[in-house]
Chain A
């Protein structure tokens, strides 16, 4: 079987350049949104009203906005508002982290609140303060319950890295776009069908095992 001439350079560009950028963006956003989300979600179960109100606003705003609007705000509006200029990669990573951490925070709150009250009371009776109670008793149990939805949410974060293509981050989708443009100019055929199908395939190969894992954890842990 012979492979057409255009396939090799396009495949290499999408894999070498695009996939590297996608994985870099995904890694930062996944780690940052998980850490920040678990912290905010745990703080949300604290009794302090002002703190809770601030975190609630954070969650409702970044969950409510379409990610593309958040990324546009960071990339196009921030310079005019507060004179901060972010490059496209940073705007994408921060935008994804804001959305992801809001989602993770909400899931964490649910998981922490699902732990029965007597666990808190028993830990308090043993002399643990708030921090110790959460560190040794509540969070280890809550994290077990959080894991399945967390994996599902992070699959979404990984998929949403493609939105950074819109401001020009050369991740997988943008690499596909540029290939389509180049082919349209150099040959008459854009090969958009094959290229975007290939981009979908790349994400399917990454996402499918993770959504299976999430479903498996759901059955195992909950």
Chain B
């Protein structure tokens, strides 16, 4: 009990000590919070967007087969399906039709995809939440609702009007934001794709360990194809977002270093007043360890408050305010996401890393100079 009371008493004193240099300490906490906020924002963002990417790919086929002509992707003939299906280990092969559609009205690119469920529903579409927001016509950009008509310009310049029959909602907005599902017939009408061709082929295999062998066999039978494994796509996504996160960290490193210098200066240099106080405390019966305990609480109070506030603000920034600050850098090429919200995924390991790289060094930096002062003979205070 005595131990806890001692900690409480010293913590009490520390907090009122911090209150005495209010301006200085508040400024320090503000800068510290800002740095944590920036770092935590980058961590939250890259982790969540990677997580979203993996979610999208969860339902993706294990392997996609594309056809290449002169090194570029081209339509793949449907006759390839039969020969690929015969390869041992292949469970199913399905053609897929998808592409990008530029909507001049809203100045946006959409992803158009033929959907099996709409096979017999020619003239109908199901749209993603981003589409429903952007393609609205009239004054401003009001949301598109069910039963609205959306005009599509086909390959020959004629207009094909399609009726919205539903709006997609998934756990990840990234999956659906710019997606428009159409019937196969309408898709072929818009892009003039021959009936015996598809955009690519989706493969399911029985044993994922055989993926590489199957891919090798496909390229052997059809040298003009390129099999892409789901794992490869995921790796690419991760690399891209890690690279972007890294880029942001590099840009921020200036601010971080400026803070380190500020914090180091504040934490390591004891003012004359602080040294005098340590002398008084020693003279009236505080042990060196009591003074270090006080300084520990001081460092911990400053860095923990900054850490929690910075992390909390970063959470609000990334998951509730659509990452306003980083959006242009981190989100990339698309202009479709006016209200893009990431689903909150937080990696405890990353938070712990941030904690150990910020809170611990600051707290230690506060203790060290006090230790030097606290070992001085207390009689110096008699001569002040």
A joins B in a complex: no
